[in-house]
Structure 1
Amino acid sequence: MTVRRCAAALAAATAILGGAAPAALADGTPPPSTVPPGLYGTKDPQYDGVFRQSLAFLAQQKADVQPAAQAVAWLTGQQCADGSFMSFRADTAKACDATKLDTNATSAAIQALVAVGGHADAVKKGVGWLKSVQQDDGGWPYTPGMGGSDANSTAIVIGALAAAGDKPAEVKSAKGGKSPYDALLTFALPCDDPTGAGAFAFQPDPKTQKLYANAAATAAAVTGALGKGLTATAGTAGALGTACEKAATPEQGAHNGAAYLAKTLAPTGFLKSSLPGAADQPDFGSTADAVVALAADGMPEQAKKSADWLSKNAAAWAKENGPAAYAKLIFAADATGADPKNFGGVNLVQSLNATGPAAQAAPSAAPSAERKDTKKNDGISVWWIVGVGLVAGIGVGFLISSRKKNQQP
């Protein structure tokens, strides 16, 4: 990510955190005056248009709601000729900008299109592009060609591969023969780390290569290491407790990460913002991700406690941040057996639907094989300026997301 794009991301984050919306973004690009027809949400889609649309579809599928044809057409129309997606294309008549291709948006869109069904060609092209930009270590960065692999991007790509029917362990780099799981485990902190035993880092410190625990990256890495996607459902409860053991397998790495999350969540029920001066401010988006991760790893007790905390405290945050926020809460509710239509008194599904084109009820009988498979699989250094501080702060997790919050510019 260039410094210019990092500055633009900073401006967008500042607007979300309560500052005035800038007249123009820091890179000189004016924000769109209107939201494109078919897109969910009303905020500037430059950094999260495809991502929030994809999350909306995935959440609707959880509730057996079929997105409007107009909304699906908007998402498929965002795909680039090579199968990739940018975060947002304001003018789809123009070729995609190769410096803005987005592994996270592409992976989210693939999962959403698999869930919606009927878009096998688009899914195949998207997966083909992801495989073509796999790095030598087996992982993926946010933008190919700009920095090394990171835990969040690698994890969400794993979810896309699994949703599309591929076996992530068999997707190996052309040079080195490394799998996504090989890459993911390089971000795992050892069990003897005094501050983050079992956690995952977003990336190594660019200067020292030391790994620092990152809760958002850990939540993503847990579901990824389990071979699951954004809508991972509850796994079988295990008997490992919160013990941390050397991560010789992806599953052990996932369990170590889940144990770290459980311990971190235990005192308050939520993950804290890392915004300077706001140590006790909740990070709602990452907390919802952590709920899904804990449930997927078979730790239902802490997952439910944190889901209950979200049901009592996240309504205002979701209302402010729109479709992706509602979607994350729906995922957390679904993973813990809560009712997304009465989550702390809020009908999350109805609220999500109201942010975009009128949805239709999906056919309840004989779901497609594609949808059945989906549910089965559910399975440089400017980041020190923006990274863990500003963007992680409020837990919006969507414009620049947990996927982008710690990205190295």
Structure 2
Amino acid sequence: MNFRRSAAALAAAVAVIGSAAPAVADASAGPSPSSPALPAGLYGSNDPQYDGVWRQSLALLAQHTVGVRPAAQAVDWLAGQQCADGSFAAFRAEPGRACDAKVMVDTNSTAAAVQALAALGGRDAVTGKAVTWLKSVQNKDGGWGYMPGGPSDTNSTSVVIGALAAVGQKPESVVKDGKSPYDALLAFALPCSGDGAGAFAYQPDKKGKLTANADATAAAVVAALGQGMAPEAGKGKDAGGEARCEDAGKPGPDRAAANGASYLAQAVAKDGHLTSALPGASDQPDVGNTADTVVALAAQSGPAQAQKPLKWLEKNSEAWAKQSGPAAYAQLVFAARAAGADPRHFSGVDLVERLNATGPAPEAAGKDAKNAEDAKSSKDTAKSDSPFGVWWTVGVFLVAGAGIGFLLSGRKKQGQP
């Protein structure tokens, strides 16, 4: 799940609906001279036009998983990107203006924001509206495309499944025309024979043929387990051992997840990483999707099955993450956490510190966050034990509240591995 694929998917979607596709931004390039100043609460220094909400969501979610309490302005910025109908676009430079037909909302940004805000808590109104919007644009096959109304794809369906799970809804119960998200997901699964055995395709080609796609497979494995971008490890079929590909009648989500993990394990068995062929360039390691593979393997079978690609990431991901920014650091945090490594000691790199440095300083980080919560708890206990009692405290807040008002502001992908 990386920014370059998000940008490419967005550009492709624009072309599909008949508008002139904007140029795809380079993740390594800074804002163009004509770009407005970046919002203070936004993570990353690169042009956010195609990935602002995505990278913010991943950054906040990753911080939450390691006990970091993000800055309030960072959370407010993300929530404030929501349109009135509940959807999110990749980036809105002027969130105070109402969304119109020119604002290109998408399922990936919306679902990622739901996952982050649901994990952080306190934004039920925002996540509720977003999930309602996602349900309103569900396709008849049970899945979702990147743009609302576009043909379903594995990656978009997967990130929406993660959003549904994040708010406590069972994906199998979200049905359109008798089809659930799992029906759509399993339609992209390849059998355990032939090329790409056990993998998932991004989408069928024009002739209806499914071609294995490692990026889509990593996303689908986690989604088939009913989890989001920061899953718990060892929750799949055959957990604790090497995943096997088996065709046993019509596979259910658990079986499809194990089959997909089997494909990924074979894909990284030789070199420890996936390979990406970019147009006009020689094959090269695909760091982002290797990180996603670590997450998928650990989620399905447990940390032990993800160690080879994890070790490769530890040795080879630093330059990529530094160039790519907060979403990349978040992906590495997810990978390290899922595979049982310490994100603060990732081959000599403190991923959490690096991630925190790409945005506003968090309110509390790691142990500091726990200490702050403990201190607050102790303080609350002391108040309840004081001779003045609870009602004295309530009275103080009632008096203070009389003069105070609170304002609550509320890839993606192309089909080539």
State if a TM-score over 0.5 links the two structures.
Answer: yes
Q: Report whether the alignment pairs 1:107 with 2:111.
A: yes
* Other-structure match for 2:201: 201
* Other-structure match for 1:406: 414
Alignment root-mean-square deviation, CA: 2.1
**1:407 Cα deviation from its structure 2 partner:** 6.1
Deviations 1:37-66 (A, max 9, x none): 200000000110001000001110111111
TM-score where L is the length of structure 2 = 0.81
SS of equivalent to 2:273: coil
Kindly tell me: are residues 43 and 31 of structure 1, through their superposed partners in 2, closer, same or farther at Cα, counting changes over 3 Å?
Answer: farther
- Tell me the number of residue pairs that the alignment of Structure 1 and Structure 2 aligns: 356
Kindly tell me: are residues 82 and 352 of structure 1, through their superposed partners in 2, closer, same or farther at Cα, counting changes over 3 Å?
Answer: same
> In the alignment, which of 113, 131, 135 is matched to residue 131 of structure 1?
135
* Other-structure match for 1:376: none
* Other-structure match for 2:309: 306
1-side partners of 2:35 and 2:87: how far apart? 22
Give, as a single letter, the amino acid of the residue that structure 1 aligns with 2:195: T
SS of equivalent to 1:272: strand
2-side partners of 1:63 and 1:22: how far apart? 30
Deviations 1:109-143 (A, max 9, x none): 01111111111111111111111111100000111
1-side partners of 2:53 and 2:207: how far apart? 34
2-side partners of 1:359 and 1:101: how far apart? 28
> In the alignment, which of 82, 85, 95 is matched to residue 79 of structure 1?
82
**1:299 Cα deviation from its structure 2 partner:** 4.8
Question: Given that residues 42 and 52 in structure 2 are in contact (C-alpha distance below 8 angstroms), is that contact kept between their aligned partners in structure 1?
Answer: yes
2-side partners of 1:125 and 1:252: how far apart? 32
* Other-structure match for 1:2: 14
TM-score where L is the length of structure 1 = 0.82
Q: Percent identity?
A: 60
* Other-structure match for 2:327: 324
Give runs of aligned pairs for residues 175-214 of structure 1, distance below 5 A: 176-192=177-193, 194-205=194-205, 207-214=206-213
**1:177 Cα deviation from its structure 2 partner:** 1.2
Kindly tell me: are residues 323 and 22 of structure 1, through their superposed partners in 2, closer, same or farther at Cα, counting changes over 3 Å?
Answer: closer
* Other-structure match for 1:32: 35
Q: Report whether the alignment pairs 1:254 with 2:268.
A: no
**1:280 Cα deviation from its structure 2 partner:** 3.8
Give, as a single letter, the amino acid of the residue that structure 2 aligns with 1:132: S
Question: Given that residues 269 and 305 in structure 1 are in contact (C-alpha distance below 8 angstroms), is that contact kept between their aligned partners in structure 2?
Answer: yes
* Other-structure match for 1:222: 221
**1:240 Cα deviation from its structure 2 partner:** 6.2
Give, as a single letter, the amino acid of the residue that structure 1 aligns with 2:143: G
Kindly tell me: are residues 201 and 110 of structure 1, through their superposed partners in 2, closer, same or farther at Cα, counting changes over 3 Å?
Answer: same
* Other-structure match for 2:395: none
Question: Given that residues 49 and 88 in structure 1 are in contact (C-alpha distance below 8 angstroms), is that contact kept between their aligned partners in structure 2?
Answer: yes
**1:289 Cα deviation from its structure 2 partner:** 0.7
1-side partners of 2:188 and 2:230: how far apart? 22
List, as ranges, runs of 4+ consecutive aligned residues in structure 1 with deviation greater than 6 Å: none
Q: Report whether the alignment pairs 1:346 with 2:354.
A: no
Q: Report whether the alignment pairs 1:165 with 2:178.
A: no
1-side partners of 2:353 and 2:172: how far apart? 38
Kindly tell me: are residues 31 and 144 of structure 1, through their superposed partners in 2, closer, same or farther at Cα, counting changes over 3 Å?
Answer: farther
Question: Given that residues 159 and 219 in structure 2 are in contact (C-alpha distance below 8 angstroms), is that contact kept between their aligned partners in structure 1?
Answer: yes
